[in-house]
Amino acid sequence: MAVTLRHQAVGGAGTSAQHMLRRRDVAVLLPLVATGLWPTAAHAAPVLRVLSWPGYADPDIVAVFEKRHGAKVEITTVASDDVLRAKLANPQGAGFDLVAANTAEIARLVARRLLAPLPVHNIPNTERQLPRFRQLHAIAGIAQGSDVYAMPYTYSEMGLIYDRQQITTPPASIAVLWDPRWRGRVLAFDGSSHGFSLAAMYRGMAPFHIPAAQFGPLARDLVALRRNVRSFYSLPEESLELFRKHRIAVMHANYGQQQLKQLRDAGLDVGYVVPREGALAWLDCWAITRRSTQVALATDWINYMLDPSVSRELTRRQGLANTLEEPPALSGDAPAGAIVWLEPVEDEARRAQLWQRILSGDRPNRF
């Protein structure tokens, strides 16, 4: 390690004594530098790199963790599972220590050996979770053998949000998204897996196991949806602006009650319903990647996220359920259909490839 000594001449009495003090200081400091004990170099704050979703790690929440643990946290936010996969697959850079992902994505990451087992015994706040979230091996996708790879954090169903001024009777079916009466006043989510699952439910099919022969018909259904929507959105804030600006009548709410809260907080008169076909639902978890060099700090982060003050703030700010307390009854209108928890899909690459063609404007007869 190189040491640069800056020498400044000082006139007047005491100069010789000051020079002697400097020489003694240097004599003391050089061994510290050589042995790596010089504080500026040795105690640089560790960096925790987190791949997350909107609203999961607000700056003030992050700042408390940083101060408590003497660390720096870098948050990267994604708006779709497709982007999350691409970020994790990128071999360049330092990668991520932590990821927030739904159980279907967690199962996929576990199968590809991209996650590290969690030291659950070092996450004491799990004792505060509701009983159904403490039975980790009973939650599909997050455990393998004796190892647990993810910790539940928040969840929501993907219902329909509708403008009560335009649609006075709660929509009973997801067919409303294709209804030509609302052309140009429909919003849907930009995501390949969810898009094909939605189309499958529209046709009464299993949403996660589409037969190869049905991809063409479902792609044509999604072309019809593309022609009926005003836009496909990615972020909840984006959906709020589009809803308000274009007088949207109905939206498939990928972020569920988080979006419902945002729209109502903005003064919009909206209702919320689970249609008779049911609603996809996600359970997002925190997981530590195999690439992580900060496993202990990442474990502290998960424990911090399960602190009552942090989890309750997530619910207060975002309208999302936490895993410590039972949520209030489904806001808005009574649900008419079942909640369908996400599962791994039959062919994510095929869904993604077809989805890009749909968004790019391919005609129905091309599928």
pLDDT for 339: 83
Contact 348, 193 (CB under 8 A): yes
Cα–Cα distance list, 359 to 3, 174, 216 (Å): 58, 20, 15
Which has the higher per-residue pLDDT, 4 or 235?
Answer: 235
For 221, other C-beta atoms within 10 Å of its C-beta total 21
Average pLDDT (152-178) is: 95
Beta pairing partners, 48 = 73
pLDDT at residue 6, rounded to an integer: 32
Q: What is the rounded CA–CA span in Å between residue 118 and residue 121? A: 9
Is the pLDDT reported for residue 83 higher than 80?
Answer: yes
Determine the average pLDDT of the residues in 172-188.
Answer: 98
Average pLDDT for 48-59: 97
Mean pLDDT computed over 188-194: 96
Q: How far is CA 195 from CA 142, 155, 202, in A?
A: 24, 19, 11
The percentage of residues in the chain with a pLDDT greater than 70, rounded to a whole number, is 86
Query: In the structure, what pLDDT confidence band is assigned to residue 92 with cuts at 50, 70 and 90?
Result: confident
Residue type for position 208:
F
Give the H/E segment covering residue 311: helix 308-318
| Cβ neighbourhood burial of 360 (10 Å; 0-12, 13-18, 19+) | exposed
Mean confidence (pLDDT) of the chain: 88
Mapping DSSP onto H, E and C, the string for 249-291 reads CEEECCCCHHHHHHHHHCCCCEEEECCCCCEEEEEEEEEEECC
Provide the pLDDT for residue 334: 54
**pLDDT for position 306:** 99
Average pLDDT of the residues in 259-287: 95
- Over residues 271-288, the mean pLDDT reads 94
Lowest mean pLDDT segment, chosen from 22-31, 95-104, 190-199: 22-31
Residue type, 47: V
What is the DSSP pairing of strand 160-163 with strand 270-273?
Answer: antiparallel
Question: What are the tens digits of pLDDT across the range 297-344?
Answer: 999 999 999 999 999 999 999 999 999 998 765 555 555 688 888 999
Average pLDDT in the 36-58 region?
A: 79
Given its phi and psi angles, is residue 328 left (phi above 0), alpha (psi -120 to 50 degrees) or beta? Answer: beta
> For 61-73, what is the mean pLDDT?
98
Residue type (1 letter), 351 = R
Alpha carbons 276 and 288: distance in angstroms, whole number? 37
Sign of CA dihedral 274, 276, 280, 281: positive
Segment 21-38 shows an average pLDDT of 42
Is the pLDDT score of 361 beyond 90? yes
Report the C-alpha gap between 251 and 82 in whole angstroms. 21
Segment 94-107 shows an average pLDDT of 96
Whether the predicted pLDDT of 4 surpasses 50: no
Domains and CATH numbers, the chain: 47-155+282-322 (3.40.190.10), 157-281+328-366 (3.40.190.10)
Angle of the 81-89 helix axis to the 103-111 helix axis, nearest 10? 30
Indicate if the pLDDT at residue 11 is higher than 50.
no
Within 13 Å and on the Cβ side, how many CA atoms surround 321? Answer: 22
- Which residues, at least 6 apart from 353, have a Cβ–Cβ distance to it below 8 Å? none
Does 271 score more than 60 pLDDT?
yes
Three-state secondary structure readout of 30-92: HHHHHCCCCHHHHCCCCEEEEEECCCCCCHHHHHHHHHHHCCEEEEEECCCHHHHHHHHHCCC
pLDDT reported for residue 72: 98
Point out the least confidently predicted range of 108-112, 140-144, 325-329: 325-329
Instruction: Give buried/exposed letters for 104-125 (b at 16+ CB in 10 A, else e).
Output: bbbbbbbeeebbbbbeeeebeb
- Let me know: does 159 contact 279? Beta carbons within 8 Å: yes
Contact 249, 185 (CB under 8 A): yes
pLDDT band at 35 (very low <50, low <70, confident <90, very high): very low
- Supply 318's token pair: 């975002």
Q: Is the pLDDT of residue 22 over 50?
A: no
